[in-house]
Structure 1
Amino acid sequence: MLDEINEALIADELINEKCAGQIKFYEYPETSSLTDTHIIIDPLDPPKPSDYASNQWLMEDFIFQIEVWSKNKTDRDVVSKRIQSIMWTLNFGNSGGGLDEYDRDYKIFRDARRYRGKKYVI
């Protein structure tokens, strides 16, 4: 699922324009050297079996946190909203939680949102 999310983000024209080459998994950028807008995809839990029939699970339940870090608040907000729209097309809803913060020391705006969704395994 991580690869599918990455591919969907890369395929988006706006995200490609604002964050080309800056989509990371599990890794956070070095705060002091950040110049471009970054997206960090962080699985918060391993996939869990869900939705059973005839003693077999049919789906896996996923939860991801996707963060956008940027020196520009407008870019951060535009990219975060686009990610939310893309995640919706992948059947992931915003599950609440996350944060909206500004790091004064490094002048970085950060938006973190959590998304939960399911995917058929059969």
Structure 2
Amino acid sequence: MGDWKRAVCYTIFSFVFFCLYSGFSTVWGQEEEEINPKKLFEYHCATCHGENGKGTKRGRELKAPDLADSDWQAQKKDEEILNSIINGKNKMPRWSDKLKPEEIQALAGYVRKLVPKKRT
């Protein structure tokens, strides 16, 4: 095979390999996924806090706060919410072992959004 044919074949092979690798990296999860705080909350927190933050029967038995209560929200600093998620509190488990720091930040922000909007 001539040198120019070998060069063309090598170029085509390299291009195809690069394209396939780029496509597979997305499929195999090598690209970072966008964090969905609502889904994180539903998966990790809703068992006790309920999907709306108001609490479930189990959560009330464990004395979990009503996260949708505007008075509770007003009393809590962002750092306190973060600390509770990271280290746990009372019967609540620590999530720092299972969640990434950016997921914990997203959850804390989501907790702040659980307060029903006041109608004007």
Give the TM-score normalised by structure 2.
Answer: 0.27
Structure (1/2) with the larger helix percentage: 2
Q: Which has the larger radius of gyration?
A: 2
Higher RCO, Cα 8 Å, sep 6+:
1
Would you tell me which structure has more strand in proportion to its own residues?
1
